[in-house]
């Protein structure tokens, strides 16, 4: 059996500039961090005693004889890619719900690809794992997704991810005081709206407009990354909250599907109760809100949202890793 552990991410600024339709021509940048919430994927060889050859456990339990019968798209296509011929059981568990703006689809792909690389004895570095995960989602699954989530999940940490014209990327850890990092973490709050959505569907509505009618908005969104980096180095964290507010207003202008009256009401209530700024994580349309709330006002905001789920979390520096491995290569390969 092999078990991979891959962190979810929070993207603060720059989301939208990580779509290849934008950054290949214009470049881009994202400021993000991984958090101590994870997707765990276990994989084990199935001995030939069962009627089924593949058992996939996610929100459904699939037991099938042929690979093409697997309903989970990412699992099916990855097993094809890695030419897994022996029987296999894949079990997925996540600390947070899917389709909630936390990058879960990409986190899953990174975690499963990491597991399968180990299963097959394939050695890859972090950049290769991120690149292969991006290629798989965008070219094989043909999902309309950006490139930041796969990189964040692979590398881990509080980073600036730069996307170069032409398609290359590089990852630069943000160098700020530990006290500033701890205070920022203390002042952040995750609130689950209860609405699930598919990033692929939301993004499809505005990604094709990035080069045309939405170009000025994307340039402004990109500029927030440099400004946020400067604020963090100075340690004026309330300004970080104000910048989140500005970026949320800019993000909403990209598409009417990013927000709605219910989501706007949640945001406005948070501001009234003491939050300085915030944003919906991911493509928009639902999922998790991230709010910047000075810690002395946090209890009031949490109390107000007692009917919603608030999630405590911490920053983490580790990306996807294998936490358990016990296999017999003669059986599996």
pLDDT the model gives residue 209: 60
pLDDT the model gives residue 259: 86
SS3 call for 323: strand
- When mean pLDDT is compared across 99-103, 104-108, 197-201, 242-246, the lowest value belongs to 197-201
Confidence band (pLDDT; 50, 70, 90) for 208? low
pLDDT the model gives residue 332: 38
Taking 90 as the threshold, does the pLDDT of residue 127 lie above it? yes
pLDDT the model gives residue 170: 98
Confidence band (pLDDT; 50, 70, 90) for 6? very high
Taking 70 as the threshold, does the pLDDT of residue 46 lie above it? yes
Mean per-residue pLDDT, 190-209: 70
Length of the chain: 333
Judging by beta carbons within 10 Å of its beta carbon (0-12, 13-18, 19+), is residue 279 exposed, middle or buried? buried
Tell me the pLDDT tens digit for each residue of 151-185: 999 999 999 999 999 999 999 999 999 999 999 99
Taking 70 as the threshold, does the pLDDT of residue 316 lie above it? yes
CA proximity to 225, closest of 32, 11, 33, 30: 30
pLDDT the model gives residue 215: 82
Confidence band (pLDDT; 50, 70, 90) for 329? low
Q: What is the CA radius of gyration of the chain?
A: 20
DSSP-H helix ranges across 121-235: 126-135, 148-155, 178-186, 199-204, 215-234
CA proximity to 149, closest of 5, 33, 318, 313: 33
The whole-chain average pLDDT of the chain stands at 92
Domains of the chain with bracketed CATH: 2-174+317-332 (3.30.230.10), 178-313 (3.30.70.890)
Mean per-residue pLDDT, 96-110: 92
Tell me the pLDDT tens digit for each residue of 141-159: 999 999 999 999 999 999 9
pLDDT the model gives residue 331: 40
CA angle centred on 30, ends 185 and 323, rounded to 5°: 65
Predicted TM-score (pTM) of this structure: 0.94
Q: CA–CA separation, 313 vs 187, rounded Å?
A: 11
Mean per-residue pLDDT, 93-99: 93
Confidence band (pLDDT; 50, 70, 90) for 330? very low
Mean per-residue pLDDT, 108-123: 96
């Amino acid at each position: 059996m092999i078990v991979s552990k891959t962190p979810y991410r929070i993207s603060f600024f720059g989301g939208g500039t990580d779509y290849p339709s934008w950054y290949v021509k214009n470049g881009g940048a994202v400021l993000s961090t991984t958090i101590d919430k994870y997707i765990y994927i276990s994989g084990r060889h199935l001995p030939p005693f069962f009627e089924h050859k593949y058992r996939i456990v996610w929100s459904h339990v699939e037991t099938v004889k042929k690979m093409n019968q697997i309903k989970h798209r990412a699992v099916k296509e990855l097993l094809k890619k890695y030419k897994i011929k022996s029987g296999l059981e894949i079990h997925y568990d996540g600390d947070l719900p899917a389709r909630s703006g936390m990058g879960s689809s990409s986190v899953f792909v990174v975690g499963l690809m990491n597991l399968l690389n180990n299963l097959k004895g394939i050695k890859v570095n972090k950049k290769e794992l991120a690149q292969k995960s991006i290629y798989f989602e965008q070219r094989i699954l043909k999902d309309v997704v950006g490139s930041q989530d796969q990189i964040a999940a692979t590398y881990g940490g509080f980073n600036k991810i730069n996307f170069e014209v032409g398609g290359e990327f590089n990852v630069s850890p943000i160098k700020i005081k530990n006290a500033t990092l701890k205070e920022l973490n203390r002042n952040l709050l995750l609130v689950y709206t209860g609405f699930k959505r598919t990033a692929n569907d939301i993004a499809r509505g505005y990604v094709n407009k990035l080069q045309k009618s939405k170009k000025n908005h994307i340039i402004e969104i990109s500029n927030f990354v440099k400004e946020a980096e400067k604020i963090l180095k100075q340690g004026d964290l309330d300004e970080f909250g104000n910048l989140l507010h500005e970026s949320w207003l800019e993000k909403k202008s990209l598409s009417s599907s990013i927000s709605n009256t219910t989501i706007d009401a949640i945001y406005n209530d948070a501001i009234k109760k003491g939050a300085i700024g915030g944003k919906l994580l991911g493509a928009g349309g639902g999922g998790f809100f991230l709010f910047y709330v000075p810690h002395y006002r946090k209890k009031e905001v949490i109390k107000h949202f007692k009917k919603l789920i608030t999630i405590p979390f911490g920053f983490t520096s580790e990306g996807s890793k294998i936490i358990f491995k016990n296999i017999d290569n003669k059986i599996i390969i």
